[in-house]
């Protein structure tokens, strides 16, 4: 795990160097480089929520608490990365358009996604019995995932002020060295996501051991 | 009415020439500041989350130690 | 095969009838919901000066806020009613599939919430001086679709939150964000329908969104209701 963390750190530092050397984007200027964090964070968060969905369904099917632990870990880290996405996007908007926020479909659905998964954590806090907590949280996670496709496709379906996709679409005009830097940064951020998830996962399992020990001690 | 003397006139013309440049400099500065703030915000959020994780880790470890010692005590008895 | 399906429908009807009868005898939830809807309409009329233009712009949003709040009261009550005397355990132990329970309670809730909405509409028309009935049947369609979305989510989450502490807070907290796609569609459509425009062009997309999400949420609820009840 520490190898992954070290690799992530190395990649990020190298990318900092690379990003600063890249030529300027004509229209937007320096602020455009924020995309190197804004986009990977968004993709990581959405992949995370997909993992949470799969983990929730698997838990409801197999009743194995490892899946529940995975769901919680992935969702929590996803919240942090989605927050990064929202904040960097907001700063970007302030520099480019002069407004901090706009109620257009992509921003709104991203914010709702954040609120939904925050609600997931609040629900978990409100339920004390572990099996019930895991089951209900899994059910809620399945409902919460219905917003994620909206976040992703909102740019295609509605007119929004959010920029159109430039990387993965046909009419995107991106110089190859930018794409490579973005890919490296994406790998680094995914690694960071994975590391944080593993830490949180281990904490969840330790917590479960603690609960078990506590019950044993009180039984004796 | 006196016409403007040459020196203030030149000063006014120079001012008019520099204004767009100053504007551009301001825009670039704001742009760059925005970038810095963006990076800072991204890392601060991740740092805060990592701090939350470490705090929870400490709490869990303490709880674990406490429970382990309790189990040993009761086993000794 | 036909025999089994008839039995299913009968089970749903029994549960719906039981819920509606229980509610009609005490009328506690529905009275509170009526009163709350009227109070909210009243208070919102103080929030801004109801001129012709402002009212036309916000009518959909306002209506659905009122429906949402009033509906939450009824949804909360729906499973809370089963708590005393272990009625919830009796329901769970009954040889009824979870889907039937969901549909039964869902239909009952739908009827109650829709009743409140039907009463709230003329009150809205009176307070805000709005002729809302110009596109009556389209408006009814949107209300049916939106209310069913609210009911489907609210019934499942009602069952989910019935035993949590702070139930009355958790239910709205969980339901409202999940409802947002449905609310968006319903609000946009209602605003234009109350203003008299028929559903056409741009608005058809919202209708499709509403319909799509109703189907998704109903399907999910039918499948997951058993899990939520048994825990």
Distance from CA of C166 to the nearest CA of A (A): 8
The answer to whether residue C126 scores a pLDDT higher than 60 is yes
pTM for the model stands at 0.85
**Mind giving me the DSSP string for A146-177?**
THHHHHHHHHHHS--SSPPP-SSSTT----HH
Mutate to test the interface with C, among A118, A140, A148, A149 (most CBs of C within 10 A): A140
Alpha carbon distance A172, A165 (integer Å): 7
Tally of domains within chain C = 1
Q: What is the CA radius of gyration of chain C?
A: 18
CA A177 vs. chain centroid, Å, equals 25
Alpha carbon distance B10, B13 (integer Å): 5
CB contact at 8 A, A215 and A18: no
Tell me, yes or no, whether chains C and A touch by having 3 or more C-beta pairs under 8 A: yes
The mean pLDDT value for C83-98 works out to 86
What is the sign, positive or negative, of the torsion defined by CA atoms of C166, C168, C169, C170? positive
B5 touches A: beta carbon within 8 Å: no
The mean pLDDT value for C75-96 works out to 87
CB contact at 8 A, C104 and C12: yes
User: Neighbouring chains of B at 3+ CB pairs within 8 Å?
Assistant: A
Question: Which residue from B minimizes the CA distance to A215?
Answer: B67
Residues from chain A contacting residue C205 (CB–CB below 8 Å): 157
Nearest to A119 among C153, C177, C224 (CB): C177
pLDDT at A40: 87
Residues from chain A contacting residue B57 (CB–CB below 8 Å): 199, 203
The mean pLDDT value for C35-63 works out to 85
The mean pLDDT value for C216-220 works out to 94
Half-sphere CA count of B27, side-chain side, radius 13 A: 12
Burial class (CB within 10 angstroms; exposed 0-12, middle 13-18, buried 19+) of A18: middle
Residues from chain C contacting residue A146 (CB–CB below 8 Å): 178, 181, 213, 216-217, 220
Kindly report, residue by residue over A82-127, the tens digit of the pLDDT. 999 999 989 888 888 888 888 877 888 889 999 999 999 999 988 8
Percentage of chain A modeled with pLDDT above 70: 78
User: How far lies C9's CA from each of A138, C15, C17, C90, C214, in Å?
Assistant: 29, 10, 12, 20, 20
CB contact at 8 A, C108 and C15: yes
Phi, psi of C111 (to 5 degrees): -60, -45
Whether residue A143 and residue C178 make contact (CB cut-off 8 A), yes or no, is yes
Mean pLDDT is highest, among A89-98, A113-122, A152-161, C44-53, for A113-122
- Three state DSSP letters for chain B: CCCCCHHHHHHHHHHHHHHHHHHHHHHHHHHHHHHHHHHHHHHHHHHHHHHHHHHHHHHHHHHHHHHHHHHHHHHHC
pLDDT at C199: 78
Token pair 């509403």 is found at C210
Residues from chain C contacting residue A132 (CB–CB below 8 Å): 163, 231
Range of the domain at C205: 2-230
Alpha carbon distance C45, C25 (integer Å): 33
The mean-pLDDT minimum among A97-106, B45-54, C209-218 falls in A97-106
């Amino acid at each position: 795990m520490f190898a992954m963390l070290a690799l992530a750190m190395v990649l990020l530092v190298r990318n900092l160097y690379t990003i600063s050397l890249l030529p300027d984007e004509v229209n937007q200027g320096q602020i455009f480089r924020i995309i190197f964090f804004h986009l990977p964070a968004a993709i990581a968060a959405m992949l995370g929520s997909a993992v949470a969905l799969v983990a929730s369904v698997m838990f409801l099917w197999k009743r194995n608490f490892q899946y529940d632990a995975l769901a919680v870990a992935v969702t929590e880290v996803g919240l942090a990365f989605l927050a990064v996405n929202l904040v960097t996007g907001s700063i970007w908007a302030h520099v480019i358009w002069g407004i901090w926020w706009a109620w257009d479909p992509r921003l709104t659905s991203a914010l709702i996604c954040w609120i939904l998964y925050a609600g997931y954590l609040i629900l978990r806090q409100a339920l004390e019995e572990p099996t019930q907590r895991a089951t209900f949280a899994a059910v809620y996670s399945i409902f919460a995932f219905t917003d994620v496709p909206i976040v992703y496709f909102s740019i295609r379906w509605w007119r929004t002020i959010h920029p159109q996709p430039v990387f993965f679409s046909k009419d995107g005009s991106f110089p190859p060295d930018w794409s490579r830097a973005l890919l490296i940064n994406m790998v680094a951020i995914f690694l960071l996501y994975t590391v944080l998830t593993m830490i949180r996962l281990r904490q969840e399992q330790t917590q479960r051991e603690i609960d078990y020990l506590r019950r044993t001690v009180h039984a004796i | 009415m006196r016409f403007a003397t040459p020196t203030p006139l030149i000063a006014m013309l120079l001012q008019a020439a520099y204004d767009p440049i100053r504007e551009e400099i301001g825009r670039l500065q704001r742009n760059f500041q925005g970038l810095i703030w963006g990076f800072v915000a991204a890392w601060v959020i991740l740092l805060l989350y990592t701090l939350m994780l470490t705090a929870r880790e400490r709490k869990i470890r303490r709880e674990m130690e406490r429970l382990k010692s309790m189990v040993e005590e009761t086993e000794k008895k | 095969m036909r025999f089994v399906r008839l039995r299913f429908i009968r089970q749903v009807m029994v549960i719906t009838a039981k819920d509606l009868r229980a509610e009609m005898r005490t009328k506690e939830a529905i009275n509170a919901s009526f009163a709350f809807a009227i109070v909210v309409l009243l208070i919102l009329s103080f929030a801004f000066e109801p001129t012709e233009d402002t009212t036309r712009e916000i009518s959909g949003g306002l209506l659905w806020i009122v429906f949402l709040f009033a509906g939450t009261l009824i949804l909360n009550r729906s499973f809370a009613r089963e708590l005393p005397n272990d009625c919830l355990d009796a329901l769970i132990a009954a040889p009824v599939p979870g889907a039937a329970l969901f549909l039964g309670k869902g239909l009952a809730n739908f009827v109650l919430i829709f009743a409140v909405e039907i009463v709230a509409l003329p009150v809205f028309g009176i307070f805000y001086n709005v002729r809302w009935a110009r596109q009556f049947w389209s408006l009814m369609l949107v209300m049916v679709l939106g209310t069913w979305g609210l009911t489907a989510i609210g019934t499942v989450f009602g069952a989910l939150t019935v035993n949590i502490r702070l139930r009355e807070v958790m239910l709205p907290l969980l339901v409202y964000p999940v409802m947002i796609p449905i609310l968006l569609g319903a609000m946009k459509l209602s605003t234009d329908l109350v203003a008299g425009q028929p559903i056409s062009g741009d608005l058809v997309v919202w209708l499709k969104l509403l319909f799509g999400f109703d189907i998704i949420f109903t399907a999910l609820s039918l499948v997951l209701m058993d899990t939520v009840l048994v825990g």
